[in-house]
Amino acid sequence: MNYSEYWRVNKSCVDHTELANALRGLRKVVGEIGVDADAVWSGIPIDDNPRIELPLLLAMGDYPIPPERMDVLTGTAIHEALHIREDTQRAVGYLSQLFPRMKDKTPLMRLAQAGEDVHVNGVALKTGLLGCYVQKSRQWWRDNLSWDFTAGRPNLEGLLGIWTDIVLDVVFSVVPSKELSGIKNILAGRVLGDLQSTLDILCLYNSSALFAIYGILLRMPQSYEEPLEYLLLNTPHIIDADAETRAIYYMEFWYRWESTFDDWQLAIEQAGLSESNSIPSSPSSLMDNDQVPPELTAAVAAALTGEAKTITRQIEATLRALGGEHQRYRLFPTLFEDATLACKAVPHQRLVRRLSEVFQLQQEQAARINRGLRSGKLDKRRMYRVHTTGLIFKKKEYFPENNRWDITLLIDASSSVIWHWQLIESVYVAMAEALKGNNSRLEILAYKEAAGNCLVSRLFYGNSLFTTTTGGSTPSGEAIMAAALSMPRSQRRFVVHITDGLWNSGIDVWYAIEHCKREGIDLVTLGCGDAIKALELQYGKSFEVIEYIEQLPKAMEDLFRKKMLGR
């Protein structure tokens, strides 16, 4: 089953365009996991922002990229993104601090690497679909890389490799995500000495899984059994633990078996051998891009930055026209994207009713009475014409072009609004619901800073509502200007900017406000927070204060009533 086929829409037979499209899709997946890092193809020139490198050679060859390989790339991106979200770096750093006198910490880091792989794959499995992608990616890497951890003399690499093979390839393939917590409770308090019983519980007595595991156990050195059982007993705990607790599990394992590992290493050195086994997280042959033509990498990079450069150039030109050329050094590259996470929020019902009334009254005000007709409603003012022309009827006629509004709802989605995001969702869903059947145009945008860019996400398109994750700082100036530049030319243009506080990055908001004034765009910012005086100073008359975020629905109602009905 190819999961990515259900959501991949933008495809191309042209190599650089398809590689750019695929990378945009993978970046959205990473963003929905809640990780502020760019997915990039390895070997393509990039900046110093946090990034997740993906093997470009895996994507090359057939265009569009086959769904099977796209699933593998998606699983790889999810795996690496979860390493960032689950704070693998912190777990490794904390483990290193627990051994300040150890000179060569390479074996310790290999233990942490294997444990963190088990943790993030277990976390993905518990989330459902993410686990399907990660399992498919793991299977592909395992099938295309040949290494046998059971061969050779006992060593730490072989032990860790067998542990990850059993857990990632066998146990995770047969255990439903909802059963992991139950297995953890069953294994709690068990002591070493019954490896077979431990495996039965981990595999839920699945005969095919147990057959595959016993095949591994029969080939591996017998001295692996006891430390392997210890790792298997603690696997469910490692999956559920936070970063520091995971580091403590690794430390306890190391202290318990350190002398055994030293004996294994001494035996290998005395035999004049080297550790042949390893646990490659990604094959160097696929990450090596020496074979990739430089013109292809340049074309992909150009395709990726094309849209961002277009809107950013427009903002730069606007800044120059407003005398703010010096602000371009503070300007975040700005990029529009279509959000992909479906919004399941329930609309604020009272706001739906009140806004529907406002829009209906606004239509009534724009209507005209056409009198002197041959049919319609009787017009008392024309009754004297009964015996002459008979034109005694009237009709109320609506002219959509006279009451059309272009409305943009621009929402701050920075990290500081995470506590209010559910209420904000109910408000913009109510707005979309209230405008159904109305001829006004509605655009719902959310913005945040992500990896050094101002990312503006479309939350309403194709008659469907979407949501996004919050994060990053608040580049309000770029977002307001980008929203204004994207609006079509019309008589009534209205931008409602919802934020919880001050602009704290990017260009000065004054230039965005001034641009809206010159273009005849009505901009109103609804904001709340402690720095109300500073907000009023910053936004001037285009700012309205909300003392508490819970007042947002009432403020929206009052705002549209005043703007559209003049009361």
Q: pLDDT tens digits for 528-565?
A: 765 555 666 666 666 777 777 788 888 888 888 888 77
b/e sequence 411-425, b meaning 16+ C-beta within 10 Å: bbbbebbeebbeebb
Looking at residue 361, its pLDDT comes to 78
More confident residue, 396 or 458: 458
User: Taking the model in full, what pTM does it have?
Assistant: 0.65
Domain boundaries, the chain: 337-348+404-565, 368-402
| Residue 257, both tokens | 């078996």
Looking at residue 214, its pLDDT comes to 92
Q: pLDDT tens digits for 362-384?
A: 776 665 677 777 788 887 777 77
Cα torsion for 333, 334, 340, 344, to the nearest 10°? 120
Looking at residue 278, its pLDDT comes to 41
- DSSP classification of residue 488: P
Q: What are the residues whose beta carbons fall under 8 Å from the beta carbon of 241, sequence distance 6 or more?
A: 119, 249
If you compute the radius of gyration of the chain from its CA atoms, what whole number of angstroms results? Answer: 31
Looking at residue 399, its pLDDT comes to 55
Looking at residue 135, its pLDDT comes to 92
Looking at residue 232, its pLDDT comes to 93
Looking at residue 516, its pLDDT comes to 92
Tokens 């035996």 identify what position?
Answer: 267
Secondary structure (3-state) at 279: coil
Band (pLDDT 50/70/90 cuts) for residue 38 is confident
Q: Residue 188's CB: how many other CB atoms inside 10 A?
A: 10
pLDDT at 53 > cutoff 70: yes
Question: Percent of the chain, pLDDT > 70?
Answer: 86
pLDDT at 286 > cutoff 70: no
Looking at residue 295, its pLDDT comes to 67
Looking at residue 397, its pLDDT comes to 67
Q: pLDDT tens digits for 87-138?
A: 999 999 999 999 988 888 889 999 999 999 999 999 999 888 899 999 999 9
Q: What is the mean pLDDT of the chain?
A: 83
Q: Residue 44's CB: how many other CB atoms inside 10 A?
A: 19
| Residue 502, both tokens | 């001050």
Looking at residue 247, its pLDDT comes to 94
Alpha helices in 145-192 (DSSP H): 156-164, 172-174, 180-187
Band (pLDDT 50/70/90 cuts) for residue 432 is very high
Looking at residue 289, its pLDDT comes to 45
CATH H-level superfamily of 337-348+404-565: von Willebrand factor, type A domain (3.40.50.410)
Looking at residue 281, its pLDDT comes to 43
Question: Percent of the chain, pLDDT > 90?
Answer: 36
Band (pLDDT 50/70/90 cuts) for residue 55 is confident
Secondary structure (3-state) at 459: coil
Q: pLDDT tens digits for 178-192?
A: 787 788 888 877 778
First to last CA, the chain: 58
| Residue 529, both tokens | 């927070």
CA distance 150 to 228: 13
Band (pLDDT 50/70/90 cuts) for residue 49 is low
Q: pLDDT tens digits for 198-251?
A: 898 889 889 999 999 999 999 999 999 999 999 999 999 999 999 999 999 999
CA distance 433 to 553: 14
What is the rounded average pLDDT of the residues 160-176? 91
pLDDT at 400 > cutoff 70: no
What kind and span of H or E run contains 477? helix 476-486
Looking at residue 110, its pLDDT comes to 92
Looking at residue 282, its pLDDT comes to 42
Q: pLDDT tens digits for 478-498?
A: 999 999 999 988 888 999 999
